[in-house]
Structure 1
Amino acid sequence: MNNFLILLALALIASSCGFRKYVWFISIGYGAAIALIGVGLLVIFGSSLTVGTALQCVLLVVYGCRLAGYLIYRDVKTAYNRRMKGEVKSNEGVSPVAKVGIWVSASVLYVLQTSPVLFRLEGTRGTDVLSIVGLVISTAGLVLETTADLQKNRAKKANPKRFVDTGLFRLVRCPNYFGEMVFWTGVFVSGLSVYANTVQWVCALLGYLGIIYVMLGGARRLEIRQDKNYGDDPEYQRYKSTTPIMIPFVPLYSVKEHTWLVA
């Protein structure tokens, strides 16, 4: 529990940037929190790390730094803020209580997401087959997400008024979200051999299912936004009706009507 609280404190510190801009609690602050949690795990368990567990921690740092860095670049260097004006909730009208609520709840989620790595380190289980399998899956997810972000950025620079349907976007409409889900699937799988009790299983499942829910909610918001921007374009309608929204080759083409995805 002490280690969990230490990681929670780190997540709270890293994501506190959201008090400057509300959406940063779950964007830049998210990446920063995961990176700082990875650093915290390296420091706390430095004397007992194996090659596999060290790589798990380093992967969290790389993942978080990449995500936060990309989001900072997008906010500062691209036209993203202008495109999203009026569509992303601003600080105006958000009460201090609401800000504290999202800050704390998001930070708890970030620690739960990384809890499989914490449980392995606390149990001194070292490196086993599942930890290696999880690392491979997470690395694949990181590569997918990074590639999708780069492809979307390149396509938007070339034609900012058109939807993106090139590269990985030919296979799925939200390949960056898919990559994110693959990354955290790897983290969850890596802990399947170490969950020692009901509490650990619940923590790991809440973290994993929580981020899957968030990604589906993000896909729903994106679909609504794209329908608004490109709904009259026959090419977009054809693309939307033939390309899965979240997982390649799984015939789920729309989540817009699933109002329970309010994240």
Structure 2
Amino acid sequence: MNVFGSGFAWNAFALNLAVAAGAAFSVVLVAFLVALRVKMHRIVDIAWGLAFAAVALASYGMSAGYGDDGRRLLVTLLTVVWGLRLAGHLAWRGRGQGEDPRYERLLGRASGNRTWYAFRIVYLLQGALVWLVSLPVQAAAYETGAMSFLAWLGTALWLLGLTFETVGDRQLARFKADPANRGRLMDRGLWSWTRHPNYFGDFCVWWGIFLVACDAPAAAAATVIGPLVMSFLLIGGSGKALMERHMAERPGYAAYRASTSGFFPRPPRGPREGDTEAG
């Protein structure tokens, strides 16, 4: 039974799943080797975006002659642009800094070999998540029908997300670069509309990419796990929830939390007491 719709090359897609897994795990393996050399596991954050780009490029190559060329190119460009921008931003932001406290705390839990523990809990898990979240990217490359309005709606949502990420990251970087803001918390620009414009941006990007893969309803049903997992990571996993636990004791954060949306943007509510920073 063809669960993805008429003309979907199931056998080729099954092979793509394996190749995509190899692409994702190759990137995180290289990141692991680099991390051992520089003795810093925050390198894996850069590999996150690069691994998605690698999966998209591998899927584009593997799907030649199978899927609609327009959709193949579109979903590849959306994924690669997002992944490279994110990797570049994290590399720039982390330059000259030491280990991320998140990884120091995580490795502090290791009862045996810390290196093997890091490889299993950080790198292998990240590779698996990249493969799972990227399922819509992989499936979209094999859909044969012409793109419908859903693909363009998804592209518009992707663009909204990329804008939130890019503008929010730039606003925060400029704020932190000003010595006058030392010790203060960021509550300006997009950060006054949502406490996490970067995570909201990621959310829009991945639901947008999912919409590009939605022209075949069965394909959408089979790959919706991708954006759902990403949404969980952003809201309840290593994104918003973890960041807010870290920020909870900062002076002024309670007032910022009371006045500013936790995720989906909206105008700030009421006067804010003090200044705030997130992300």
Report the TM-score range of the alignment, normalised by the length of the smaller protein: 0.7 to 0.9
Letter in 1 for 2:198: N
Displacement of 1:101 in angstroms is 4.5
Partner of residue 6, structure 2:
none
Within 2, Cα distance between the matches of 1:196 and 1:162? Answer: 49
Give the alignment partner of residue 241 of structure 2, picking from 220, 241, 250: 220
Partner of residue 254, structure 2:
237
Partner of residue 258, structure 1:
none
Number of residue-to-residue matches in the alignment: 240
Partner of residue 15, structure 2:
2
Give the alignment partner of residue 184 of structure 1, picking from 183, 197, 206: 206
Contact 2:150 2:211 (C-alpha < 8 Å) held by counterparts:
yes
Q: How does 1:93-242 map to 2 (within 5 A)?
A: 93=110, 94=114, 96-97=116-117, 99-158=119-178, 159-196=181-218, 201-202=221-222, 204-216=223-235, 217=237, 218-228=239-249, 230-231=250-251, 233=252, 236-242=253-259
- In structure 2, the CA distance between the partners of 1:239 and 1:13, relative to structure 1 (3 Å rule), is same
Within 2, Cα distance between the matches of 1:140 and 1:73? Answer: 23
Q: TM-score if structure 2 supplies the norm length?
A: 0.76
Displacement of 1:171 in angstroms is 0.3
Contact 1:144 1:179 (C-alpha < 8 Å) held by counterparts:
yes
Describe the SS at the equivalent of 1:196.
Answer: helix
- In structure 2, the CA distance between the partners of 1:89 and 1:32, relative to structure 1 (3 Å rule), is farther
Within 1, Cα distance between the matches of 2:156 and 2:68? Answer: 18
Runs (4+) off by over 6 Å? none
Let me know the Cα RMSD of the aligned residues.
2.6
Within 1, Cα distance between the matches of 2:151 and 2:102? Answer: 43
Describe the SS at the equivalent of 2:184.
Answer: coil
Within 2, Cα distance between the matches of 1:104 and 1:85? Answer: 20
Q: How does 1:17-166 map to 2 (within 5 A)?
A: 17-18=31-32, 20=35, 21-25=40-44, 27-47=45-65, 49-77=68-96, 81=98, 85=101, 89=105, 93=110, 94=114, 96-97=116-117, 99-158=119-178, 159-166=181-188
Contact 1:168 1:175 (C-alpha < 8 Å) held by counterparts:
yes
Displacement of 1:103 in angstroms is 2.7
Higher relative contact order (CA 8 A, sep 6+): 2
Displacement of 1:161 in angstroms is 2.1
Q: What do the CA deviations read for 1:34-68 (whole angstroms, capped 9, x no partner)?
A: 11112212322345553343122111111111111
Within 2, Cα distance between the matches of 1:10 and 1:101? Answer: 19
Contact 2:164 2:198 (C-alpha < 8 Å) held by counterparts:
yes
Displacement of 1:140 in angstroms is 1.4
Letter in 2 for 1:180: D
Partner of residue 249, structure 1:
266
Contact 1:63 1:142 (C-alpha < 8 Å) held by counterparts:
yes
Displacement of 1:72 in angstroms is 0.8
Contact 1:119 1:194 (C-alpha < 8 Å) held by counterparts:
no
Percent of pairs with identical residues: 24
- In structure 2, the CA distance between the partners of 1:220 and 1:126, relative to structure 1 (3 Å rule), is same
Letter in 2 for 1:43: G
Partner of residue 257, structure 1:
none
Q: TM-score if structure 1 supplies the norm length?
A: 0.81
Letter in 2 for 1:104: L
Q: Which runs of 5 or more residues in structure 2 are unaligned?
A: 1-13, 269-279
Task: Identify, as 1 or 2, the structure richer in helix.
Answer: 1
Q: What do the CA deviations read for 1:156-184 (whole angstroms, capped 9, x no partner)?
A: 11124221111100101111000010111
Contact 2:158 2:207 (C-alpha < 8 Å) held by counterparts:
yes
Q: Indicate the structure (1 or 2) with the bigger Cα radius of gyration.
A: 2
Letter in 2 for 1:108: A
- In structure 2, the CA distance between the partners of 1:72 and 1:134, relative to structure 1 (3 Å rule), is same
